[in-house]
Protein backbone atom coordinates (compact mmCIF):
# COMPACT_ATOMS: atom_id res chain seq x y z
CA UNK A 1 0.00 0.00 0.00
CA UNK A 2 2.83 2.43 0.88
CA UNK A 3 4.46 1.84 -2.51
CA UNK A 4 1.17 2.44 -4.36
CA UNK A 5 0.50 5.70 -2.51
CA UNK A 6 3.97 7.05 -3.29
CA UNK A 7 3.64 6.19 -6.98
CA UNK A 8 0.24 7.88 -7.15
CA UNK A 9 1.64 10.95 -5.41
CA UNK A 10 4.51 11.12 -7.88
CA UNK A 11 2.14 10.87 -10.84
CA UNK A 12 -0.09 13.60 -9.38
CA UNK A 13 2.95 15.85 -9.09
CA UNK A 14 3.72 15.17 -12.74
CA UNK A 15 0.25 16.09 -14.02
CA UNK A 16 0.50 19.89 -13.66
CA UNK A 17 3.86 19.84 -15.42
CA UNK A 18 2.57 17.77 -18.32
CA UNK A 19 0.14 20.55 -19.30
CA UNK A 20 3.02 22.62 -20.72
CA UNK A 21 6.14 20.41 -20.49
CA UNK A 22 9.32 20.64 -22.52
CA UNK A 23 9.84 16.90 -23.11
CA UNK A 24 8.02 13.76 -22.07
CA UNK A 25 9.81 10.45 -22.60
CA UNK A 26 8.81 6.81 -22.73
CA UNK A 27 11.64 4.28 -22.34
CA UNK A 28 12.26 0.56 -22.65
CA UNK A 29 15.37 -0.61 -20.85
CA UNK A 30 17.39 -3.61 -19.78
CA UNK A 31 18.50 -3.69 -16.14
CA UNK A 32 21.66 -5.54 -15.06
CA UNK A 33 22.06 -5.90 -11.27
CA UNK A 34 25.54 -5.28 -9.92
CA UNK A 35 24.96 -7.61 -6.94
CA UNK A 36 28.35 -7.04 -5.33
CA UNK A 37 29.31 -8.00 -1.79
CA UNK A 38 31.93 -7.51 0.91
CA UNK A 39 31.60 -10.81 2.77
CA UNK A 40 30.22 -13.73 0.72
CA UNK A 41 29.20 -15.60 3.88
CA UNK A 42 26.81 -12.81 4.93
CA UNK A 43 25.62 -11.59 1.54
CA UNK A 44 22.18 -12.69 0.37
CA UNK A 45 23.01 -12.33 -3.34
CA UNK A 46 26.16 -14.43 -3.14
CA UNK A 47 24.66 -17.15 -0.95
CA UNK A 48 21.90 -17.61 -3.52
CA UNK A 49 24.36 -17.71 -6.43
CA UNK A 50 26.64 -20.18 -4.63
CA UNK A 51 23.92 -22.59 -3.51
CA UNK A 52 21.27 -22.40 -6.24
CA UNK A 53 21.27 -23.21 -9.95
CA UNK A 54 20.82 -19.60 -11.04
CA UNK A 55 23.46 -16.92 -11.55
CA UNK A 56 23.74 -13.12 -11.55
CA UNK A 57 22.69 -13.04 -15.21
CA UNK A 58 19.45 -14.81 -14.27
CA UNK A 59 18.30 -11.55 -12.67
CA UNK A 60 18.77 -9.32 -15.68
CA UNK A 61 15.44 -8.14 -17.03
CA UNK A 62 13.66 -5.58 -19.19
CA UNK A 63 11.93 -2.59 -17.63
CA UNK A 64 9.88 0.43 -18.63
CA UNK A 65 10.09 4.06 -17.65
CA UNK A 66 8.47 7.48 -18.00
CA UNK A 67 10.25 10.83 -17.78
CA UNK A 68 9.45 14.52 -17.74
CA UNK A 69 12.10 17.15 -18.58
CA UNK A 70 11.90 20.86 -17.81
CA UNK A 71 14.44 23.20 -19.42
CA UNK A 72 16.16 25.78 -17.23
CA UNK A 73 18.32 27.01 -20.11
CA UNK A 74 19.52 25.90 -23.54
CA UNK A 75 22.02 23.48 -21.96
CA UNK A 76 20.58 22.65 -18.52
CA UNK A 77 17.36 20.91 -17.54
CA UNK A 78 15.69 19.14 -14.63
CA UNK A 79 14.44 15.60 -15.24
CA UNK A 80 11.93 13.55 -13.24
CA UNK A 81 11.93 9.84 -14.04
CA UNK A 82 10.01 6.76 -12.89
CA UNK A 83 10.95 3.23 -13.90
CA UNK A 84 10.57 -0.27 -12.53
CA UNK A 85 12.45 -3.55 -12.30
CA UNK A 86 11.13 -6.90 -11.14
CA UNK A 87 12.52 -10.42 -11.38
CA UNK A 88 11.33 -13.72 -9.86
CA UNK A 89 13.58 -16.73 -10.24
CA UNK A 90 12.85 -20.28 -9.09
CA UNK A 91 15.76 -22.63 -8.68
CA UNK A 92 17.06 -25.79 -7.02
CA UNK A 93 20.00 -26.38 -4.70
CA UNK A 94 23.05 -27.40 -6.73
CA UNK A 95 24.61 -30.17 -4.64
CA UNK A 96 21.80 -31.50 -2.46
CA UNK A 97 18.72 -33.65 -2.80
CA UNK A 98 15.87 -34.07 -0.33
CA UNK A 99 14.69 -37.24 1.40
CA UNK A 100 11.88 -37.83 3.87
CA UNK A 101 12.93 -39.80 6.92
CA UNK A 102 10.26 -40.71 9.48
CA UNK A 103 8.13 -37.74 8.47
CA UNK A 104 10.94 -35.18 8.41
CA UNK A 105 12.75 -33.80 5.37
CA UNK A 106 16.55 -33.78 5.18
CA UNK A 107 19.08 -32.69 2.56
CA UNK A 108 21.92 -35.01 1.54
CA UNK A 109 24.80 -34.43 -0.85
CA UNK A 110 24.38 -37.81 -2.58
CA UNK A 111 21.76 -40.36 -3.59
CA UNK A 112 18.38 -40.08 -5.26
CA UNK A 113 15.61 -37.88 -3.98
CA UNK A 114 13.65 -34.77 -4.80
CA UNK A 115 14.91 -31.35 -5.85
CA UNK A 116 15.04 -28.77 -3.06
CA UNK A 117 13.67 -25.56 -4.55
CA UNK A 118 12.71 -22.02 -3.66
CA UNK A 119 11.92 -18.73 -5.39
CA UNK A 120 14.01 -15.57 -5.01
CA UNK A 121 12.39 -12.28 -6.01
CA UNK A 122 13.72 -8.71 -6.24
CA UNK A 123 11.84 -5.58 -7.33
CA UNK A 124 13.02 -1.94 -7.49
CA UNK A 125 11.01 1.17 -8.41
CA UNK A 126 13.15 4.33 -8.48
CA UNK A 127 11.60 7.80 -8.55
CA UNK A 128 14.52 9.98 -9.60
CA UNK A 129 15.26 13.70 -9.86
CA UNK A 130 18.23 14.65 -12.05
CA UNK A 131 20.17 17.60 -13.33
CA UNK A 132 20.86 17.09 -17.04
CA UNK A 133 23.52 18.84 -19.10
CA UNK A 134 23.24 19.09 -22.90
CA UNK A 135 26.59 20.77 -23.66
CA UNK A 136 25.98 21.34 -27.39
CA UNK A 137 22.42 22.55 -27.02
CA UNK A 138 19.46 20.99 -28.86
CA UNK A 139 19.88 22.13 -32.46
CA UNK A 140 22.06 19.32 -33.85
CA UNK A 141 21.29 16.02 -35.58
CA UNK A 142 22.86 14.18 -32.66
CA UNK A 143 22.37 15.65 -29.17
CA UNK A 144 24.67 14.19 -26.49
CA UNK A 145 23.88 14.63 -22.80
CA UNK A 146 25.04 13.63 -19.32
CA UNK A 147 23.49 13.96 -15.88
CA UNK A 148 22.89 12.60 -12.43
CA UNK A 149 20.98 13.05 -9.23
CA UNK A 150 19.16 11.51 -6.30
CA UNK A 151 16.11 9.29 -6.02
CA UNK A 152 13.60 7.57 -3.76
CA UNK A 153 13.83 3.81 -4.31
CA UNK A 154 10.90 1.55 -3.45
CA UNK A 155 12.02 -2.06 -3.21
CA UNK A 156 11.03 -5.57 -2.16
CA UNK A 157 12.93 -8.82 -1.63
CA UNK A 158 11.21 -12.18 -1.20
CA UNK A 159 12.39 -15.73 -0.64
CA UNK A 160 9.75 -18.47 -0.60
CA UNK A 161 10.15 -22.23 -0.58
CA UNK A 162 12.48 -24.88 0.82
CA UNK A 163 15.61 -23.86 2.72
CA UNK A 164 18.38 -26.05 4.09
CA UNK A 165 19.50 -25.46 7.67
CA UNK A 166 23.25 -26.06 7.38
CA UNK A 167 23.75 -25.21 11.07
CA UNK A 168 21.74 -28.21 12.36
CA UNK A 169 23.11 -31.33 10.70
CA UNK A 170 22.18 -34.82 11.99
CA UNK A 171 23.97 -38.12 11.45
CA UNK A 172 22.22 -41.13 9.87
CA UNK A 173 23.48 -44.64 9.24
CA UNK A 174 23.36 -45.60 5.54
CA UNK A 175 23.44 -49.41 5.13
CA UNK A 176 24.29 -49.09 1.44
CA UNK A 177 27.45 -47.16 2.22
CA UNK A 178 27.93 -48.91 5.57
CA UNK A 179 28.78 -45.61 7.19
CA UNK A 180 27.23 -42.60 8.85
CA UNK A 181 26.21 -39.69 6.64
CA UNK A 182 25.13 -36.20 7.56
CA UNK A 183 21.72 -34.80 6.67
CA UNK A 184 20.54 -31.21 7.06
CA UNK A 185 16.95 -30.31 8.02
CA UNK A 186 14.79 -28.73 5.32
CA UNK A 187 12.22 -26.14 6.34
CA UNK A 188 9.76 -23.92 4.50
CA UNK A 189 10.73 -20.24 4.40
CA UNK A 190 8.68 -17.16 3.60
CA UNK A 191 11.14 -14.33 4.24
CA UNK A 192 10.49 -10.85 2.92
CA UNK A 193 11.55 -7.21 2.95
CA UNK A 194 8.28 -5.64 1.86
CA UNK A 195 7.45 -2.07 0.75
CA UNK A 196 10.82 -0.71 1.81
CA UNK A 197 11.99 2.81 0.89
CA UNK A 198 15.62 3.98 0.59
CA UNK A 199 17.54 6.93 -0.86
CA UNK A 200 19.88 6.22 -3.79
CA UNK A 201 21.89 7.98 -6.44
CA UNK A 202 22.36 7.73 -10.19
CA UNK A 203 24.33 8.99 -13.16
CA UNK A 204 23.62 8.72 -16.87
CA UNK A 205 24.73 9.66 -20.36
CA UNK A 206 23.25 9.27 -23.80
CA UNK A 207 22.24 10.79 -27.09
CA UNK A 208 19.01 12.08 -28.61
CA UNK A 209 18.41 11.96 -32.38
CA UNK A 210 15.61 14.19 -33.78
CA UNK A 211 13.50 12.26 -36.29
CA UNK A 212 10.56 14.66 -36.74
CA UNK A 213 9.49 18.16 -35.81
CA UNK A 214 8.62 17.29 -32.20
CA UNK A 215 9.93 13.74 -31.87
CA UNK A 216 13.37 12.34 -31.10
CA UNK A 217 14.78 8.94 -30.35
CA UNK A 218 17.01 8.38 -27.36
CA UNK A 219 19.69 5.88 -26.33
CA UNK A 220 20.95 6.00 -22.75
CA UNK A 221 23.24 4.28 -20.29
CA UNK A 222 22.33 4.78 -16.61
CA UNK A 223 23.94 3.61 -13.40
CA UNK A 224 21.87 3.38 -10.21
CA UNK A 225 23.61 3.15 -6.84
CA UNK A 226 21.79 1.85 -3.77
CA UNK A 227 22.84 -0.35 -0.86
CA UNK A 228 19.82 -1.21 1.24
CA UNK A 229 19.73 -2.36 4.86
CA UNK A 230 18.04 -5.73 5.43
CA UNK A 231 16.21 -5.73 8.75
CA UNK A 232 12.88 -7.56 8.46
CA UNK A 233 13.00 -11.01 6.88
CA UNK A 234 16.79 -11.18 6.44
CA UNK A 235 18.18 -9.76 9.65
CA UNK A 236 21.89 -10.44 10.09
CA UNK A 237 22.86 -10.17 6.43
CA UNK A 238 25.12 -7.38 5.20
CA UNK A 239 23.75 -4.51 3.11
CA UNK A 240 21.91 -5.71 0.02
CA UNK A 241 23.28 -4.27 -3.22
CA UNK A 242 20.40 -2.97 -5.35
CA UNK A 243 22.73 -1.04 -7.65
CA UNK A 244 22.72 -1.80 -11.33
CA UNK A 245 23.37 -0.79 -14.90
CA UNK A 246 20.57 0.10 -17.27
CA UNK A 247 20.67 0.39 -21.05
CA UNK A 248 17.54 1.92 -22.58
CA UNK A 249 16.04 3.33 -25.73
CA UNK A 250 13.26 5.86 -25.71
CA UNK A 251 10.87 8.05 -27.60
CA UNK A 252 10.75 11.76 -26.72
CA UNK A 253 7.98 14.22 -27.52
CA UNK A 254 8.97 17.90 -27.47
CA UNK A 255 6.40 20.59 -26.61
| pLDDT values of the chain reduced to their tens digit, one per residue, 255 residues | 555 545 545 554 554 444 445 899 999 999 999 998 877 778 999 999 999 999 999 999 999 999 999 999 889 999 999 999 999 999 999 999 999 998 999 999 988 899 999 999 999 999 999 999 999 887 889 999 999 999 999 999 999 999 999 999 999 988 877 889 999 999 999 999 999 999 999 999 999 999 988 899 999 999 999 999 998 889 889 999 999 999 999 999 988
Instruction: Print burial letters for 139-175: b (CB count within 10 Å at least 16), e (below 16).
Output: eeeebebebbbebebbbbbbbbebbbeeeeeeeeeee
Strand extents, DSSP E, 102-226:
104-108, 114-133, 143-164, 170-174, 179-210, 215-225
Predicted local confidence at residue 19, as pLDDT: 47
Torsion of CA 168, 174, 179, 180, to 10 degrees: 10
Q: Is the dihedral of CA 66, 226, 34, 149 positive or negative?
A: positive
Predicted local confidence at residue 119, as pLDDT: 97
Assign domain 2-89+121-159+196-247 to a CATH class: mainly beta
Q: What number of residues does the chain have? A: 255
Predicted local confidence at residue 101, as pLDDT: 92
Counting DSSP H helices and E strands in the chain, the numbers are 2, 12
Predicted local confidence at residue 140, as pLDDT: 85
Q: For the chain, what are the domain ranges?
A: 2-89+121-159+196-247
The pTM assigned to this predicted structure is 0.85
CB 161 within 8 A of CB 54: no
CA angle 132/133/134 to nearest 5° reads 120
CB atoms < 10 A from the CB of 107, how many? 23
Amino acid sequence: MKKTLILLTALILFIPSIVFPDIVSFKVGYFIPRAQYDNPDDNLWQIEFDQMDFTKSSFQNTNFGFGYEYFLSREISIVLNISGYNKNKSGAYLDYIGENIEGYDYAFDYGEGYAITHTFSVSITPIQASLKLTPMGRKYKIIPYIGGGIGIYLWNVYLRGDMIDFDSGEWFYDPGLDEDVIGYPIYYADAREENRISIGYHGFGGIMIPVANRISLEAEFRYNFLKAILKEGFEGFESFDLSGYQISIGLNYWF
